[in-house]
Amino acid sequence: TTATTEVNEEAQPSSKTSCSPEHCECIQRLTKNLHFHQQLQGVSNYKAVMEYLNDNRNVQLHDDWNHVLFVHLGDKLTMSESQQQFELIYAQLMRFKTLKACELEKCVAFKRNRRNREKDHLADLPSFDVDVLDAIHCHLLHSFDTGRRSKQDDEFDDDVKGNDSDDDYCGNLRKDRVLQRILSRTRMAWQRGASICAADSVQDVVQQQQQQQPSKFVSAINMDDGNIDQKQAEVTTKREYSFGCLSRYDIDLKKAKYKNLKEEVLKNNTCPIESSLFDKQLENANKFHQTELAKRKHITVGHLMTVILYCAFGTLAYEFSKTFRKIRLDETVDEVKQRNREFRHLTCLLTEAVNDYGDAIGSKANKVGRYYHGISTEMVFPSFKVIFNCPTSLTTAMNVAANFATENGIVLELQKDSPDLRYFNCTWLSCFSNEDERLVLFSPSMKLHNIRCTRMALTDYS
């Protein structure tokens, strides 16, 4: 099996693909690359990696990884099937004699992968290929260690055909107990990862959480004085609850404050980044553009660039998302649109990336049963239909939602509702592919299937 024949979203094999982890040539090549990468973890000079991954190997590395993400772990599999495939891949890696089980405490790749990219210095940056290998290494070898995945017996059986037990009291009680176990384990794993990383890496993320700066997987409610997200339900229709008050028709590129995306990202008034970091990410976008998946999607470098920026720079993503929501009770929609002008190019390109180059959630091939998103505080929803009129990161993994959930917050369990909803699968562009990120923006409604309170789940009733 080759990556180039099966990576296209429209031509992916079904979940019953004959490509098994034991015989997959892509996984075999990735295993050899991971072995080489592991031998050089303590080496600061990345020239050897760059020489090893020449131009042909570079593209093949990405195509092989995309094959694993979309064929073995993709949305055409149920979550239990994907989990089973992941465990088979992990077992296959561990059978490779020269590839050792990696200790998290000593893993240079893990520390490097979890660094704060907004504080990067160009002279110290690893090469693009090392960054990608770090991400693959952390996904395949450390997802269990860091709580991104748990063993299959701890997963929610959401996708079992004909299983409606989660709609009754016993089913919910069972799921709450599973959530309690997941929260307990993932937070212990997260704290473990934070304690072994140097400053400017995972500790920065933990400090941000302690300072109540949310991740992309948690919508901040009442974060700032006068934030009225909780009260916006009063001004939306009674049939659905909306995150954000803008619509796609409110976005006029002619009214952008800056000439282009680069000027916007470098000169905006809230969280500008350095020119060297922008140029580095643009270089990465051009390399992603050479992959078979990008060619089959016919996606442009500019659209790839916006997704990369959103995934890699947390503060930028946070400040950008705020320009879609009211921050004062008396703020008008026109005032929100005026604030959004600060990121108008980013808004337009990201909207197109999601809705023009993304995947249809209503596709018959999509077998993902649940999507998860956190809210920073407990709240009451006036409707069982939710729309996301601001950039919102969903995850298909309950473990990831539990990782980022705040202690007094809630986790939304969402189902597909409108077949017209589209999302962008960010895993192949993100440095944190094991977060299983799906980006939505200006989406039709999703069904609010369940709300899980982390405060109650974290309470030990034994």
Taking the CA atoms of 452, 455, 458 and 459 in sequence, report the sign of the dihedral they define: negative
pLDDT at position 9 is 43
Among candidates 248, 454, 459, which has minimal Cα distance to 352? 248
pLDDT attached to residue 1: 36
Cα separation, 205 vs 18, whole angstroms: 40
Confidence (pLDDT) at 126: 72
Residues of the chain with pLDDT below 50 are 1-16, 155-167, 169, 196, 198-213, 223-238, 458-462
Q: Helix 25-39 crosses helix 55-67 at what angle (to 10 degrees)?
A: 120
pLDDT for res 152: 60
pLDDT at 145: 83
Q: Are 233 and 244 within 8 A, CB to CB?
A: no
Alpha helices in 289-428 (DSSP H): 292-297, 301-312, 314-322, 333-340, 344-357, 398-404
> How far apart, in Å, are the Cα atoms of 4 and each of 68, 291, 314?
12, 9, 32
Which of 451, 374, 373 lies closest to 406 in space, CA to CA? 374
Instruction: Specify the pairing of strand 241-243 against strand 385-388.
Output: parallel
Residues with Cβ within 8 Å of residue 338, at least 6 apart in sequence: none
